Structure formats: C-alpha cells, structure tokens
Structure 1
C-alpha cells in the first residue's frame, strides 16, 4: 500500500477557526497528504470568520461556544448528513485530534465501520483544572482520557517526553511520535530587526525577555509575571516583550505594566518578533511539544522553560537554555538573570539551539505519520485488532 491509497477522515475540535499550534500542525499534515495524492476529508466546527483558510475539504460539525471561553466551540454530535458524507467518502483510516465529544463519536463510528482509528495528542488536558482552582478533578480527567485513548488503535505524541508520559499513564499499547517541524524561512536569526525593537522603545543593548503564545492562564502567566517581579526587585536590566492575544491579556497587562505587548503576529511578522527577542521564557507545563520553544531556538534564542513534556525533549539544560522545576520562581529568575547579564552565554546558547532546530523539517515529520498510517491500515487489513489493555 502507498500513501496515494490513503483515505483519511480527520476529526478536530478546532481546525482553523482559532489559530494555535495544534491546528496549524493539522493543516500542514493535510497539505502534505494532498501532495502525496492521498484523499483527506476534515470534520470540525466552523465559524463565519475563521482565523485562516483551511487546507483540504472541511465539513462543518454542529457546535456551541464553550462557556467562559467563547472563542472555542464544542462539537455536539455527528449529524446523519455528516455520517452519510463520511460513508460516501469511504475512508480507510480515522484520525481524531481531540478527546471531546466529536472525537468520542468518531471513534465509535470507526469501530462500527470496522476501520482503524488513531489519535494525535496535542495538549495535556489533565493539567488544565489546576489553573482554574479545580486541581481535584485532574484524576477524573486523566481517567476519561485513558478511556478515550484506549479505544484507538494507536496514539501519537509530539515529543518523546510526552510519549513516555502517555506510556506511564497507561493510555495505549501503541504510542508513536508525530513531532513538529519548523519553517526556517520564517524563523531564523536573520529576521532580527533592531529598528523594529527601537520603535517599541527597546534599546539595542537591552535584554528582551519574550513570551509567545495564547494569553490564557494555562500558559503559566502567573509564574511568568511572578518571575519578572523577582527580576525587577533584583534590579536586573531587562524588557519584557509579549507576543499574542487571548482572554487573559488584561490581567497580564496589569501584572506587567512595564512590558511591551504587540498582540497577535503571524508569518514573517512573527518571525521578526521572535528573532528580535534575546531569550524566550516558557513556564508552561501544558504543552506536549512546545512549538514556540522550537521557533525561538530556530531564531537563535536561548530558552528558559519548565521541566515539562515537550520542553525537556527540545531544550538541553545548560547548552541551549535552562530547564527549571515548574513553579520555581527563584530558579527561573536566576536563569533569566544569567542570560540578561552574560551576553556571551546568551549567544552561545542561541547558536546551539539553532543547530538543534535544523533537524526538524515539516515534510520529514509528516512522512513519519504517513508511514504509521500505512502500517496501521496494513495491520487491520491483515486481521490485526487493537489489543485490550492489561491494566484496568
């Protein structure tokens, strides 16, 4: 079997209506599949004004806004008309990208159609409750995720550290890697723009500490702002540059009144913003890979990050940046102060990170997933079935 014989039904809770790392990876995957002459059909909620045009044929799934996070939409069912569309498409593999209602319904449908189904893991949903005062719910969320992922033939993590965590959590027998790539035309040290920095009031010799991502609490905004306050008390010379939008922007601006907020950036503008920083600070523990970490490394920046899934697969402590225990404010401040005051250490770590990033190409990582699709389809055609888990 070859890639051109694949017929992939892809189910996502957010394919293009809000821009984030997960749905951009899915769109890149679809673009690659189409170049390999595979057939792909995407099923996802849609909105009137999406964040970007979708790659491939996108079929709308009924949805409702998520309470408290209305920018996201929760799919509510797969209507009969869509089920007919799926059957007419004649997929030979299902790919589910999120463990919500649409994902559960898609897995059930795949089993009824006797088709293999794989799941890609894009975020650590079990960690989200702690950011909203509901940490006691984490074991229940993890149990729900385990039930979902065990119904799949295989699951794919974006980093080896995340894959190992999924194995330890007993999520599935077959845990593979679908990592992420980097667009080196966009993210490279040559994008650094001192004139742009000056327009923001950042002097050429001022160390700029960057944050890149959605401005939501689960990105570790509280740890970030507490750490910056420690630097200010130590009178470490620096400037904070925040790239991104989100519902917590007002809160973040109030916590960091001296920071420069440039809002959402994309494409070459994002590449310029990242390269014009001097280091990236990523305290989040919710990522399974850390796209922004890889982008910063490609731009020649040292990265100070939490020891967490994703980051610890990318950052080599003491070489390309620093890995710090999650929530350790003093240690984060020490690491940032080191790079703020030692330009040579900053440049050396940036060069090392740029070298590591050169191994991540989108076509290579997407081909690895295509190879896994083919393996799983062949296994099912040969009579293979998902093995039941030996652990309850």
Structure 2
C-alpha cells in the first residue's frame, strides 16, 4: 500500500501529533508499505531542521509560519504536484486544520481515498481563549471542523468522548482508533536504572512522594490546578516539558522541580522516578502521556472528562476528579500519597500496565491499515 501522510506537525516539534505520525511511519515500514510525508518545514536559520527522511521515507517540507510557538504549514498547489508524482493509494491526514485542509481538498480532486485523524479539541481551546464570545467562537470552530472532515472518506477519533463530540456535531463517517504506546521504552523496570535512582535521590532527598506531570507548559493544559498539590504534605511536584507558562508556574509552584523537555530514555527515566502521575487538562481528545505513565507502572489521577475517561478506571488504575470542583484534584491525590499507600499505588500501577500493553503501536497500526482499506472501499463505492 502507498500512503501519503499530511501532518500539521512534525519533527523537530514534539507533541502528540508528531509522536503518532512517527510511530505510524515506523510500523508502516516494518510491514513493507511505502509512504511519503508532507509537513510544515523549518526556516533555514532554525537550529533544528525538519528531517529530509524519516523511517526511510521522504519528507516533503512546505513553507510554514510561526504561530504561538507552532509551525503552521501554508497550503499551496505544490501538494498536487507531490501527489501526482507519488501516486498514493490513500491519504492519511493528521489533525487537519490548515495544511491538512489543503491535503483533503487535493485528495478529493484527484480521487485519492482519505482518512482524517482527529487529535486536537480545537473548539475547547478556542472557547478558553475567546473570553465572553467563547461559546460563539467554539460553535464556529465546530462548523469549520465539520466542513473539513466532510471531505474525508473516514474520520478517526482517539476516544469514545471524542467520537461522541464528532457525532454530536454532525461529522459524518467516524470510527474509533486509539493511540499506541511504546511499552518497552516506558516500563516499570526503569525504576531500577542507576540513572533513574540518581534522579530520584536528587528530586526526593527526604523521601518525598513524587507527583509527576509530562506535557506542554501552556494555558490550555490548565496547570494552575497544580497549585492545590503544592500544599499536600510529604510530596513534591515534578514537571517535564516546556512552554510559555513555565515562568508563571515557577512563581506559583516554588517547591516544584522543572526538568524541561525530555525525550527517549531520559523521558522514560523521568516516568520511572515518579510515584504518581497527575494530569490537569480537560481538553484532551486522548491523553498519550497518561498512557505512557500507565505503561511505566504508575497510577494516574486525571480529570473526569475527555480522553482520560477511557484510560483511567477509578480505584483500579488511578482516580478521576471533578475539574469543576475546587480542591478535587488534591482530594483525589491525598489518599494515594498517605503513609502506607505505597502498596495501593503499586497495585494500581501494575493493573494500569497490564491493560495498556495491549495497545502496542504494531497492533494499532494494523488497525489503521484496516481503516485505510475501509476508506479505499468507501471511495470506490462512491465513484461507482
């Protein structure tokens, strides 16, 4: 199968969209499929450039502009040229919003079956940043999303909550496709790594219970909730990631440790140093870091909204809290960090690990290839 992936985000940017695309490419290669990537490019003076190839596949970079620390690829007719040369069997569009819209339009014009992967709850982000007009702008965003996804032969949602949102807003032809996790990289055995143990001694010199967060430090992640945890005795917050909110968070959380951006083994060791994983955002369509934490054998505390509803079973693999109730996050965390709670955390972490290992990237990409075939079949029927 020949697959072209049009993505709104790619390396060197690190986020959920980039990670998903990279894992899909690696597993398509392992299965002998052919692929090509169309992604936003970086400027020639950028310290880290968009790679020319990934997993052995060519990466075609398009002109991009920076928007709030993100690179937004500019739509142009060069996409049609690339498609004519590559002649794909199917187009995979990751989180379409600007560049992806152009990709879907080109695919429909050229008769290429398309699968759009819904990954970002843009209406909620827009509502959060639009003040009194938030509800109106969110409804406008849903109209835009519906218009985008109507062009796709199939739209894939990462969670049951996202699937419900798409259907409630009349997005047609939707199906469920989760996200995989690297259960070998994120593994409970990392806790025994000498470098992990050294990190833990540095972060918890007095035996503190470490409450870990991994993700972008930005307003949409609602990290102000972590202030509740700064007052939980016997604990220390550890934040992994970068973003525009870091300076504010450092002032709000004077006792917290900020490890900055971590990748690969360093990220796995950070998870290995944690005792409990906490998440604060209510706008996650899935929650990849929750899944990585579970693979690392950690119980997870997250809002009872969106993607975490699929990933956390209350009292079994972690706890869910009401994001509208002040103090609910701290109330969910306190029993899990109380003296004698280590055994409970261990049991939850083991069950979280057992469940998440079933969601390997190879299995998820096998499902994705089946979705590609479904889209190709649907497109053939519509043409006939």
Common topology (TM > 0.5): yes
Aligned residues: 369
With over 3 angstroms needed to count, the CA separation of the structure-2 counterparts of 1:22 and 1:112, relative to structure 1, is: same
Q: Following superposition of structure 1 onto structure 2, how do residues 263-274 of structure 1 map, counting pairs within 5 Å?
A: 263-274=260-271
Given that 2:321 and 2:329 are in contact with CA atoms closer than 8 Å, whether structure 1 keeps it comes out as: yes
Q: Name 2:139's counterpart in structure 1.
A: 139
C-alpha displacement at 1:268, in angstroms? 1.2
Q: Name 2:21's counterpart in structure 1.
A: 26
The answer to whether 1:346 aligns with 2:345 is yes
Q: Distance in 1 between matches of 2:326 and 2:344?
A: 21
The TM-score, its normalising length taken from structure 2, stands at 0.91
C-alpha displacement at 1:115, in angstroms? 1.9
Q: Distance in 2 between matches of 1:57 and 1:345?
A: 48
The answer to whether 1:157 aligns with 2:154 is no
Given that 1:17 and 1:46 are in contact with CA atoms closer than 8 Å, whether structure 2 keeps it comes out as: no
C-alpha displacement at 1:313, in angstroms? 0.5
Given that 1:15 and 1:54 are in contact with CA atoms closer than 8 Å, whether structure 2 keeps it comes out as: no
Q: Name 1:222's counterpart in structure 2.
A: 224
C-alpha displacement at 1:145, in angstroms? 0.8
With over 3 angstroms needed to count, the CA separation of the structure-2 counterparts of 1:264 and 1:26, relative to structure 1, is: same
C-alpha displacement at 1:385, in angstroms? 5.9
Q: Distance in 2 between matches of 1:24 and 1:118?
A: 18
Q: Name 1:298's counterpart in structure 2.
A: 295
The secondary structure found in structure 2 opposite 1:11 is: strand
Q: Distance in 1 between matches of 2:362 and 2:322?
A: 33
Q: Distance in 2 between matches of 1:385 and 1:215?
A: 46
Given that 1:18 and 1:50 are in contact with CA atoms closer than 8 Å, whether structure 2 keeps it comes out as: no
Q: Following superposition of structure 1 onto structure 2, how do residues 1-392 of structure 1 map, counting pairs within 5 Å?
A: 6-47=1-42, 48=46, 49-50=48-49, 54-55=54-55, 56-66=57-67, 69=68, 71-80=69-78, 82-134=79-131, 135-136=134-135, 137-172=137-172, 174-192=173-191, 193-200=196-203, 202-203=204-205, 205-225=207-227, 227-229=228-230, 232=231, 236-341=233-338, 342-381=341-380, 383-384=381-382
Q: Distance in 2 between matches of 1:300 and 1:37?
A: 33
Q: Distance in 1 between matches of 2:76 and 2:305?
A: 35
- Structure 1 range deviating more: 95-104 or 249-258: 95-104
Given that 1:194 and 1:204 are in contact with CA atoms closer than 8 Å, whether structure 2 keeps it comes out as: no
The secondary structure found in structure 2 opposite 1:17 is: coil
Q: Name 1:3's counterpart in structure 2.
A: none
User: What are the superposed Cα offsets for residues 312-346 of structure 1, whole Å, 9 maximum, x if unpaired?
Assistant: 10100111111112243312111111111022322
Given that 1:288 and 1:309 are in contact with CA atoms closer than 8 Å, whether structure 2 keeps it comes out as: yes
Given that 1:19 and 1:51 are in contact with CA atoms closer than 8 Å, whether structure 2 keeps it comes out as: no
C-alpha displacement at 1:204, in angstroms? 6.3
Q: Distance in 1 between matches of 2:335 and 2:124?
A: 30
With over 3 angstroms needed to count, the CA separation of the structure-2 counterparts of 1:180 and 1:46, relative to structure 1, is: same
Cα root mean square deviation, aligned: 1.9
The secondary structure found in structure 1 opposite 2:146 is: helix
